[in-house]
């Protein structure tokens, strides 16, 4: 049986609605009504994906996301009733891959889940080559990144962003172009989402994130990956 999608939601009606739409698309699902059970179910079932409400009993969604990211790269989509940009950026900074603001369309939520899974698992026949620049190596088939032969833990979004940049060393990418690569169905996202992911990537692969040598900023335009040598 394929790994399930874990729905972490304390409102039973919302949880059941999301479950119904996901199962119509062929996904297996589990429901956790609070943060403590969510962490336990993640440990036991190793879900394919986590849909995570923020306002939870026992342990809130922020802390659940933080703890999951300390031990797993499972894709996480946050559900939040808070529309302020800072709350969304905070969620991305903790390692969430995307967010949906309540009230939401269940069809849109399912499409976002599918889009994140596509980013996590490239289609057969594309993007298979191992990418290497100096001591940084990305293996798409193994979904693995190493730096000086040591593994680097990345979220699915961080991995996809690094893969895009490493695939074209020296090429300038605008923020809009990078957003288009991530959100191909016209989803509404905050402008700073790419900057947040770049900042997290730099923390993980740069010796000095304030003076990066791999991911370079081109002021007024966007980002590029260094050319080897």
Do 10 and 103 belong together in one domain?
yes
* Per-residue model confidence (pLDDT) at position 125: 41
210, part of any domain: yes
CATH of the domain at 152: 1.10.10.10
Asked whether residue 126 is domain-assigned, the answer is no
CATH of the domain at 75: 3.40.50.2300
Average pLDDT of span 202-226 = 92
Q: Are strands 222-225 and 173-174 parallel, antiparallel or unpaired?
A: antiparallel
Residue 137 vs residues 55, 76, 130, 159: alpha-carbon distances, Å:
38, 24, 7, 11
Same domain as 181, residue 111: no
Task: Quote the mean pLDDT of the chain.
Answer: 86
The model carries a pTM of 0.65
Does 179 lie in the same domain as 84? Answer: no
Last residue of a domain, one of 120, 141, 173: 120
Return the bridge partners of 7, or none.
Answer: 31, 51
Q: Are residues 15 and 112 in the same domain?
A: yes
pLDDT digits (tens, 9 = 90+) for 144-202: 999 999 999 988 888 989 999 998 888 898 888 888 777 655 455 556 788 888 999 99
In a domain, 172, yes or no: yes
Peptide bond into 178 cis (omega under 30): no
Give residue 124's pLDDT.
43
What single string gives the DSSP state of each residue in 109-160?
HHHHHHHHHHHHSPPTTSS-S-EEETTEEEETTTTEEEETTEEE---HHHHH
Q: Are residues 115 and 171 in the same domain?
A: no
Which one of 98, 120, 142 terminates a domain? 120
Q: Indicate whether 178 and 135 sit together in one domain.
A: yes
**Residue with more model confidence, 70 or 28:** 28
Name the least confident of 34-48, 123-137, 138-152, 159-173: 123-137
The answer on 139 and 110 residing in a single domain is no
136 and 102, same structural domain?
no
Residue at which a domain ends, from 120, 146, 179: 120
Instruction: Look at residue 123 in the predicted model and tell me its pLDDT.
Output: 45
pLDDT digits (tens, 9 = 90+) for 69-125: 888 888 999 998 776 777 777 777 788 888 888 888 999 899 889 888 877 665 444
Same domain membership, residue 34 and residue 96: yes
Establish if 125 belongs to a structural domain.
no
Q: What is the pLDDT of residue 120?
A: 66
Could you tell me if 9 and 115 lie in one domain?
yes
| Together in a domain, 99 and 137 | no
Q: Residue 167: which domain range? A: 131-225
Average pLDDT, integer, range 41-49 = 93
Share of the chain above pLDDT 90, in %: 48
What's CA 153's distance to the chain center, in Å? Answer: 12
Please give the tally of structural domains in the chain: 2
Same domain assignment for residues 172 and 211: yes
């Amino acid at each position: 049986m394929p790994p399930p999608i874990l729905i972490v939601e304390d409102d039973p009606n919302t949880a059941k609605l999301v479950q119904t739409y996901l199962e119509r698309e062929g996904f297996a699902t589990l429901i956790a009504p609070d943060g403590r059970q969510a962490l336990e179910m993640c440990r036991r079932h190793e879900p394919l994906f986590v849909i995570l409400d923020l306002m939870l009993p026992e342990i809130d969604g922020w802390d659940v996301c933080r703890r999951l990211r300390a031990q797993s790269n499972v894709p996480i989509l946050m559900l939040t009733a808070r529309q302020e940009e800072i709350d969304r950026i905070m969620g991305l900074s903790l390692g969430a891959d995307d967010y949906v603001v309540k009230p939401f369309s269940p069809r849109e939520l399912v499409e976002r889940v599918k889009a994140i899974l596509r980013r996590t698992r490239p289609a057969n026949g594309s993007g298979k080559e191992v990418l290497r620049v100096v001591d940084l190596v990305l293996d798409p088939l193994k979904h693995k990144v190493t730096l000086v032969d040591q593994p680097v833990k990345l979220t699915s979004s961080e991995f996809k962003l690094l893969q895009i940049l490493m695939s074209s060393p020296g090429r300038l990418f605008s923020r809009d172009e990078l957003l288009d690569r991530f959100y191909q169905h016209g989803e509404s996202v905050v402008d700073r989402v790419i900057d947040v992911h770049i900042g997290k990537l730099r923390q993980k692969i740069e010796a000095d994130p304030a003076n990066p040598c791999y991911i370079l900023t081109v002021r007024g335009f966007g980002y590029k990956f260094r050319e080897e040598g």
